[in-house]
Structure 1
Amino acid sequence: MNSVDRFFLASARVLEALNEWIGRAASWLSLFMVLVTFAVVVLRYAFDLGWIAMQESVTYMHAALFLAGAAYTLKHQGHVRVDIFYQRFSPRARAWVDLFGSLFLLLPVCLFIFYVSWDYVAQSWALREGSREAGGLDGVWLLKSMILVMAGLLVMQGLAMVLRCRLLLGGHIERLYDESPSAGEEGV
């Protein structure tokens, strides 16, 4: 493996490690959502109390979980695809499918999302947009920023996939993804 290929492999690993860390961190939002929802229900029905901010925080966590977890899901091959064909392909054929899918679908769509969301998010930041409800959370601008974060994380994971496809097609790695859930290092 030459120095360029080593750089590609190291870059793919760094991008994937970042998405892995962010995805694992975001997964904790599931637990917090359950706890806050439980607290909202208990406070409302047992004590006749309710806070809009607590209710909105569940929505914020739900959105952040899915937006921050999209790249993690992509890294672990969890998005919907037509596996009836893909699973029967050789590793090289899978690499070609993933390469073209990343270059001609994933990356352009993510860049489009980033482009069309930029003004929407910037306007929200300029206004420091908050909740429309009295007593609601003031961080709608932060929530909208997650759209850009999602697009950026998916671009990073897409680039890591492109690099791994390039390495597999060049004969430098044997598989794109580790198919056993307990193995440590993926693709090598």
Structure 2
Amino acid sequence: MEETRLSTARFLGQIMELPSTAISRRIDPVLTWIGQSISWIWLLLLITIVCNVVLRYVFGEGRIELEEMQWHLYSTGFLLGIGYTFQVDGHVRVDVVHERLGPRWQAWLELYGILLCVLPFVALILIYSVPFIQTSFTLGEVSMSPGGLPFRWAIKSMLFIGFFLLLLAAISRLSRVWAYLFRSWP
């Protein structure tokens, strides 16, 4: 029984150390800067929520622009942070399988995950978000709520920007996984 726990523990403790590549050295600092900068948006979101709650329950006055600002800030933080989270390997994964694999198998799983799932999904979002944003901009779309926020295209463009950052993070990670597996990047 003790023997089994020790042999499993050795697998569970292994971490895949990915090498740096020329591509990752250019992309990663940009994503890190954006990710760390955008993290302040959560404080701004918290302040907005507190202001909205105080206005509503203390002064009896709800503000639609504050409610809309909340989801704008949340969307912006989430979408602009998704690339950074991918870069630092902070996304949830199926650890039941991943953690039991050795580093080389983890790298193969990562390679196929990026090529077969991440890149096609990101490409679809980028392709379909452009007309979505263009239509909003062309029509001068604004909030339908009285007192709501204007420039709806601005928040919709966060979709494209966020997934473009995720694309950059995927390219960076792909180059690092490729270098780990094949000891070179073309």
TM-score of the pair, normalised by structure 2: 0.82
Residue 87 of structure 1, CA deviation: 1.6
Superimposed CA distance per residue, residues 94-153 of structure 1 (whole angstroms, 9 cap, x where no aligned partner): 221111111111001100111122111110111221111111110211111111112211
1:22 maps to a residue whose letter is: I
Q: Equivalents in 2 of 1:89, 1:44: separation in Å? A: 52
Show CA shifts across 1:48-100 (max 9, x none): 23322122111100111111111122122222221122123222222211111
Secondary structure of the residue aligned to 1:47 is coil
What does residue 101 of structure 1 align with? 113
2:139 corresponds in structure 1 to 127
**Distance in 2, Cα, partners of 1:44 & 1:83:** 43
Which among 137, 155, 161 is matched to residue 149 of structure 2?
A: 137
C-alpha separation in 1, matches of 2:66 and 2:122:
31
If the length of structure 1 is used for normalisation, what is the TM-score?
Answer: 0.82
**Mapped pair 1:114 → 2:122:** no
Counterpart code for 1:116: Y
Identity of matched residues, %: 33
Structure (1 or 2) with the larger CA radius of gyration: 2
Give the match for residue 61 of structure 2: 49
Alignment coverage as a number of residue pairs: 166
**Distance (Å, rounded) in 1 between the aligned partners of 2:39 and 2:100:** 31
- Find the aligned partners of 1:84 and 1:77 in 2 and give their Cα distance: 16
Runs of at least 4 residues off by over 3 Å: none
Residue number in structure 2 paired with 1:180? none
Gaps of 5+ in 1: 1-5, 173-188
Paired AA for residue 133 in structure 2 = V
Matched, 1:91 2:103: yes
> For structure 2, which runs of at least 5 residues remain unmatched after alignment?
1-18
1:20 aligns with 2:32: yes
2:36 is paired with a residue whose SS is helix
RMSD value, Cα: 1.7
Once the two structures are superposed, the pairs formed by residues 150-169 of structure 1 within 5 Å of their partners are 150-169=162-181
